[in-house]
Amino acid sequence: MIEVASLHYGVIFKKAFSQPHIFTALVNDFFAEDKKKRIIVDIQHKRFADHYDRFLHYHCSALLEQVTSAYNYTPKRTIYTLVVLTSGDRHKTDISVTDFELNTLAGKGIGETKHKIIYA
């Protein structure tokens, strides 16, 4: 097995993700490139008590940026926010997803919204 330095060290973290080809490879591993969708990648190095609310705020801000008039609130692009939690998740899950899918009372999705926040 190849040993790698922990991303918990600021210098290693910055070195790994300040290089565009490494950052692009990470994004492409999660999503195929699509010019019609907007992908937000946030790498959370330090765990904060409010990080779920913080990323929800970032995600919603990206949706709001697309609304340019009161005549049309439909965003032009689907927003995917990918949050990489390098300090781990207190819930001990590998991947968690917040989606904005509308559901019937029986829990069936009706396909109106595709926006998602993925925590990994």
What are the pLDDT digits (tens) for 24-80?
Answer: 776 666 565 555 666 666 666 667 788 888 889 988 988 888 888 888 888 888 888
Per the listing, tokens 């032009």 go with: 76
Closest CA to 79 of 92, 63, 94: 63
Token readout for 118 is 């993925």
Token readout for 39 is 């992908």
What burial class does residue 54 get, using C-beta atoms within 10 Å of its C-beta: 0-12 exposed, 13-18 middle, 19+ buried?
middle
**Mean pLDDT of all residues belonging to the chain:** 77
Pairing of strands 79-85, 96-99: unpaired
